C-alpha cells in the first residue's frame, strides 16, 4: 500500500506545478501585451496588425486561459 505521506506529497507537488503553470501563463500574457503595445506605438518596427494580434492573444493569455487551466486543475469532488 502507498504511504499516505507520499500521496500527500504527490498532491502538493501537483498543486505547485499547476500554480506555476497558471502564474507562468499570466506572465507570458503580460509580456505579449507589452510587446504588442510597443509595436502599436511604433517603438518596435513591425506592422501594427502584428502588434494588435499580440495584444489580443496577450489579453486572452492573461485573463481567460488561467481560468480554463484552473477549471481543468480543480480537484474532483469525492
pTM for this predicted structure: 0.85
- Name the DSSP class of 56: H
Half-sphere exposure (Cβ direction) of 45: Cα atoms closer than 13 Å: 0
Mean pLDDT throughout 52-78?
A: 92
How far from each other are the two terminal CA atoms of the chain, in whole angstroms?
Answer: 20
Euclidean distance between CA atoms 29 and 57, whole angstroms: 7
pLDDT tens, 13-60? 999 999 999 999 999 999 999 999 999 999 999 999 999 999 999 999
Domain extents in the chain:
27-78
CB 32, CB 54: distance < 8 Å = yes
Whether the CB-CB separation of 42 and 13 falls below 8 Å is answered with no
Amino acid at each position: 500500500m502507498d504511504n499516505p505521506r507520499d500521496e500527500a506529497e504527490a498532491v502538493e507537488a501537483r498543486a505547485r506545478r499547476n500554480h506555476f503553470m497558471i502564474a507562468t501563463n499570466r506572465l507570458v500574457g503580460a509580456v505579449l501585451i507589452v510587446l504588442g503595445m510597443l509595436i502599436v506605438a511604433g517603438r518596435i518596427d513591425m506592422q501594427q496588425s502584428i502588434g494588435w494580434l499580440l495584444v489580443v492573444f496577450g489579453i486572452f493569455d492573461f485573463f481567460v486561459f488561467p481560468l480554463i487551466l484552473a477549471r481543468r486543475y480543480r480537484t474532483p469532488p469525492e
